[in-house]
Every structure is written in C-alpha cells, then in structure tokens.
C-alpha cells in the first residue's frame, strides 16, 4: 500500500470536497428561493403555480446541475473513505507486525 499517496490524496481533496458540499447545499437553497419567487410571481393558485414550476425548463436545468454536483460529491466522498480505510488497514497491519517482532 502506498500510504504516502493516500495521505496526500486526502490532503489534496479536503478543499475540493468541501467546495462541492457547499455548492450542493447552496444549490438546494437556491432551488427553494427560485420556487418561492416563481410561485409568488404567479397569479395562479399556489398548487397550480408549484406544478408549473416543477414542469419548467428552469427547474429541470437546476436539478441537472444538482445531480452533477451530487455525483461529484459522492464520488469524492467514496474515494476519500476508501483511502481512509486503506490507511486504517495499514495501521492495523503495522501494529500487528510490531507486536510479533517485540
């Protein structure tokens, strides 16, 4: 196992991972704002305006962006978790090795 590379990977992906998480949260908040603005600006009843919002191209475009961010976030999260697990396995193996050499 290349522990140095795994540690470097974790260090190098701290900021990108945080940025993707922040963008995803921001995108979800903006979606709520867009929906509210759409419904408030409509003369239709709230339920009808909400249906129109969900059927709009603006909504589907935003959802597509959120999907891409979600995939990016989950990919980074899984790769980071794998690196963490490999480091923990290495630590356990090293501890066992030292114990048998003592």
- Per residue in 35-64, pLDDT (tens digit) is 999 999 999 999 999 999 999 999 999 999
Contact between 27 and 66 (Cβ < 8 Å): yes
Domain locations along the chain: 3-101
- Per residue in 22-42, pLDDT (tens digit) is 999 999 999 999 999 999 999
The long-range contacts involving 83-86, CB below 8 angstroms and separated by at least 24 positions, are: 83/6, 83/9, 83/10, 84/10, 86/1, 86/3, 86/6
User: Cα(24)–Cα(68) distance, rounded to whole angstroms?
Assistant: 9
Is 0.85 topped by the overall pTM?
no
């Amino acid at each position: 196992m290349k522990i140095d590379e795994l540690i470097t990977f974790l260090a190098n992906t701290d900021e990108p991972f945080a940025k993707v998480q922040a963008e995803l949260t921001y995108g979800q908040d903006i979606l709520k704002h867009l929906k509210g603005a759409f419904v408030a600006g409509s003369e239709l009843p709230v339920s009808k305006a909400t249906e129109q919002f969900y059927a709009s191209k603006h909504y589907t475009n935003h959802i597509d962006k959120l999907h891409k961010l979600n995939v990016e976030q989950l990919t980074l999260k899984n790769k980071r978790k794998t690196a963490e697990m490999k480091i923990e396995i290495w630590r356990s193996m090293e501890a066992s090795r030292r114990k048998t050499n003592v």
